[in-house]
Structure 1
Amino acid sequence: MSEVSASQADRSELTAAQRNAVAELLRVSPVADELGRRFARAGHELHLVGGSVRDALLGRLGQDLDFCTDAHPDETLRIIKGWAESIWETGREFGTIGAQRDGLQLEITTFRAEAYDQVTRHPVVEYGTSLVDDLKRRDFTINAMAVSLPDHRFTDPFGGLADLAARVIRTPGTPWESFGDDPLRMLRAARFAAQLCFTVHPDVREAMTRMAADLDRISAERIRDEFTKLLCGEDPITGLRLLVDTGLADRFIPELTGLKLEIDEHAQHKDVYEHTLTVVRNAMSMEEGGCDFILRMAALMHDVGKPATKAVGPDGRVSFHHHEVVGARLTKARMKALRYPKDVIAQTVKLVALHLRFYGYGRGEWTDSAVRRYVTDAGDLLPRLHKLTRSDVTTRNRRKAAALAADYDALEERIARLAAAEDLARVRPDLDGNAIMELLGVPPGPVVGKAWQHLKDLRLERGPLDREEAEAELLRWAREQGVLD
């Protein structure tokens, strides 16, 4: 492309961005402009800033709006009292007052001129008096633009609009200063690359690499939140590669980097790392209705047990026996360290543990009992397990890929047939606890639980039993266990 045509393309991108912004701002302007007029009458400035301006330029402004002002929190409260439908002050110590109006969530923050203590990420809040100084302290140029209200004057002192058009992530000042103030911004750079499908400026990338160890100053919860947003981005592969290539992954999820060292046992992929990224991409293609974090996380972690289980046989073939068991344990430890909720950890770990169960089905060795156990062990995760198992097929051998797909089609059809006949989703013993206690003449306690589990195992092994058969089996078991004479 010639310099002239490239320049024309840039102008076209800017014009499109500006059109997006006008359309988005018109949508929210009844509230935003009214708020701006209230601040102006009180002798204060009000500006739409940060991600709100960026998203307006991208044509994706949501219901959450960020504003900055020269008014201090007490003054802000006086201005919005009686106008806002609700007000909250949870961010007051950082100069932020929250409000709601006409379905919009508003955060109004006093100009900041804050500094960080270079030990933790916690800022020492100092109120500022200048819009430009406030914008300068923001993380990236694409988040350092403002629209003044109610006159809609656009302020862009650091070239954020041009960077938005070029789809590049750059800091207002030097990245060294920015990341030194708040190391979490390095992870945010990777997150924005994943969410917006942008590239990271070479200077920013270099700073991320050299300063990766500074991420250790950040709390696990903050890292978790940014990583979750990254993995749920439109292009998480770009973000994940950036984490590994800069060394940031080593600070909080080193298992991902470790995969680069392991050759896939089928020798069909460059390495397990590349295979894993492909599985994540495959899993994304099977999602319905937005990001499924648990599925994506299971896809990312499904092979992390391979480095610890790698073995080379006499024939030179590489194997990773029981890597799903080791991987499940590593996944649990890593997600626990990142402070994920217990239910999210449990579901992800179960998927990692079960992801290899299907292999071998095509040899025709599975009985109906094995199918029932597959369904029962997966429980509510069965739809996700289907997707993860299919995503794990990344072989370039078309015949092998087609055979595996056909095998899994057959398994799903078999599950459907059994489910229709036996209600597999709610497999229960043929006798409940009350019936067990009545028949054995025992009170509630461990014996009832063991008897219940025995009957459930029988149900999985043989399918539904009629009442007479179930009672006979229970009595036989009770005599063998010494519960009955």
Structure 2
Amino acid sequence: MRSTLAPSNLGASSLSAPIGLSTVPDTDDTADAELLARAAVALTGHRHVLADLGARFQLAGHELYLVGGTVRDALLGRLGGDLDFTTSARPDEVQRILQPWADAMWDTGIAFGTVGAARHGHQVEITTYRADSYDQVSRNPTVAFGDTLAGDLVRRDFTVNAMAVRITADGPGEFVDPLNGLAALRERVLDTPSAPQVSFGDDPLRMLRAARFVSQLGFALAPRVRTAIEEMAPQLSRITAERIAAELDKLMLGADPAAGIEVMVSTGLGEQILPEVGGMRMAIDEHHQHKDVYQHSLTVLRQAIDLEDDGPDLVLRWAALLHDIGKPATRRHEPGGGVSFHHHEVVGAKLTRKRMRALKYSKQMVDDVSQLVYLHLRFHGYGDGRWTDSAVRRYVTDAGPLLARLHKLVRADCTTRNKRRAARLQATYDELEHRIAELAAKEDLARVRPDLDGNAIMELLGISAGPEVGRAWRHLKELRMERGPLDPDEARAELLDWWNREGSAGV
């Protein structure tokens, strides 16, 4: 389909005759007109930069089109500041055209025909038409530049990403949709330009990208796409851990990551990269009834997202999804029909660490998520609020900078349908947070340290640096946890008493 986008005219008349509008348009045409009008509005904010680039490429004798996610997001009314283009110009020619225009340029993707540039807050990536071929073994194509827009669009991952808008000196113009991407977007369906078996065979990462788009855009999989993923899920083994982790993070940061996880688990993708998540699915039988841990975890994920107060929090979302992955390994059927999961937080933290390391996450990310998984159950020992000040200090100290996230995770983990019990749990946690605030007003809970540092310990005990200093430091730290801040004289007296009783025995 080829139509005209006219930013100055945002009604149905902004579509040209080929779309088939009549005096009384049918439902699909009306919906398409609304989508194109929305795109026109979105692109108006970029009109100056689009017209400027269009003029430069036009003068050089080359075609220039907005393409891919940029067009899709403009149609959805969610266009950001980054713009993706495709062009008939080869990369060196693109660089020559951009040189006098750009404030900055980069060529990190030039091997794949992509040149990046920025000007006045606008960031653009311009890629030469591609006509790549794949060997169906690796995911890396044999890069080949193409000569036509149609050839470039047909090699893209999904039809909703295979639409284009021509850019000229007048700004956005002709809307090009040879693969019916607009209809797929209207129906909110993910389908592939070619047979999905061919598309996923070319690049298996596209299967995981489908789950990511379910999370980000709220789309559903076309039946043939779902079938192909179910058949081809094991081919994800061709993809590096780093690339998989990057896609997983995009999925987790989407508007509905639980929906993306559901696609992964139901199609078999999850078994390839996050088997522990699908492993939380537990059959409920008439003798040992218990919550399905998998569905509970998705609920906790959704509830954690509802508690975010400063944008998406990747650490919190991962912790919410994985907080109970230790349950299957620790499940025990108790006499009388009960089910227990003793120490599942300890096992879960180990499993989290192992899986995230396998996916090549950073040490900080692994540490943070696994520590939240380890700590998420500790609150339930608070009971009726009889924790000592020492226990509250330990809770805060062990959480460290993760405390705010731990608060959200624990609250999100309350999924009981018993309203009275849910209210009681939330009230109890309110009380714990109040206790933390009261102690924090009296002492620096964020930096619980011994009242004497290493130098003071060595001077008082007359010892040099070594293991005994560490033992003394840990004793004072334990004392600080139990009793709160001590004045210097009291701390010195306690240290000398400990040293005389047992510390000096190790020298």
C-alpha contact 2:90 2:113 (8 A) present in aligned 1: yes
Q: What letter is aligned with 2:345?
A: E
Q: SS of 2:452's equivalent?
A: coil
Aligned mate of 1:10, from 28, 31, 40: 28
Q: What residue in structure 2 maps to residue 280 of structure 1?
A: 301
Residue 363 of structure 1, CA deviation: 3.7
Residues 267/371 of structure 1: CA separation in 2 closer, same or farther (3 Å cut): farther
Q: SS of 1:211's equivalent?
A: helix
Matches within 5 A, 1:61-460: 61-150=79-168, 152-261=173-282, 270-460=291-481
Residues 269/276 of structure 1: CA separation in 2 closer, same or farther (3 Å cut): farther
Q: What residue in structure 1 maps to residue 16 of structure 2?
A: none
1:21 aligns with 2:39: yes
C-alpha contact 1:113 1:127 (8 A) present in aligned 2: yes
Q: What residue in structure 1 maps to residue 21 of structure 2?
A: none
Following the alignment from structure 2 to structure 1, what is the Cα–Cα distance between the partners of residues 428 and 291?
Answer: 26
C-alpha contact 1:269 1:275 (8 A) present in aligned 2: no
Q: What letter is aligned with 1:98?
A: G
C-alpha contact 1:84 1:100 (8 A) present in aligned 2: yes
Deviates more, 1:250-259 or 1:266-275: 266-275
Residue 434 of structure 1, CA deviation: 2.2
Q: SS of 1:406's equivalent?
A: helix
Residue 416 of structure 1, CA deviation: 0.9
C-alpha contact 1:263 1:272 (8 A) present in aligned 2: no
Following the alignment from structure 1 to structure 2, what is the Cα–Cα distance between the partners of residues 325 and 298?
Answer: 14
Q: What letter is aligned with 1:66?
A: D
Residue 200 of structure 1, CA deviation: 1.2
Q: SS of 2:127's equivalent?
A: strand
Q: What letter is aligned with 1:228?
A: D
1:474 aligns with 2:492: no
Aligned mate of 2:51, from 22, 30, 33: 33
Residues 267/84 of structure 1: CA separation in 2 closer, same or farther (3 Å cut): farther
C-alpha contact 1:286 1:387 (8 A) present in aligned 2: yes
Note the residue ranges of structure 1 that are not aligned, 5 or more in a row. 1-6
Q: Report the TM-score when normalising by structure 2.
A: 0.91
C-alpha contact 1:376 1:424 (8 A) present in aligned 2: yes
Residue 481 of structure 1, CA deviation: 3.2
Indicate the percent of aligned positions where both proteins have the same amino acid: 60
Residue 243 of structure 1, CA deviation: 0.4
Note the residue ranges of structure 2 that are not aligned, 5 or more in a row. 1-24
Q: SS of 2:422's equivalent?
A: helix
Q: What letter is aligned with 1:126?
A: A
Q: Report the TM-score when normalising by structure 1.
A: 0.95
Q: What letter is aligned with 1:91?
A: G
Q: What letter is aligned with 2:264?
A: L
Residue 259 of structure 1, CA deviation: 0.3
Following the alignment from structure 1 to structure 2, what is the Cα–Cα distance between the partners of residues 91 and 218?
Answer: 19
C-alpha contact 1:262 1:306 (8 A) present in aligned 2: no
Q: What letter is aligned with 1:32?
A: L
C-alpha contact 2:67 2:165 (8 A) present in aligned 1: yes
Following the alignment from structure 2 to structure 1, what is the Cα–Cα distance between the partners of residues 309 and 40?
Answer: 32
C-alpha contact 1:362 1:404 (8 A) present in aligned 2: no
RMSD: 1.8
Following the alignment from structure 1 to structure 2, what is the Cα–Cα distance between the partners of residues 227 and 482?
Answer: 50
Residues 268/84 of structure 1: CA separation in 2 closer, same or farther (3 Å cut): farther
Q: What letter is aligned with 1:108?
A: I
Q: Deviations along 1:108-131, whole A, 9 cap, x unmatched?
A: 111111011211110111111110
Residue 292 of structure 1, CA deviation: 0.4
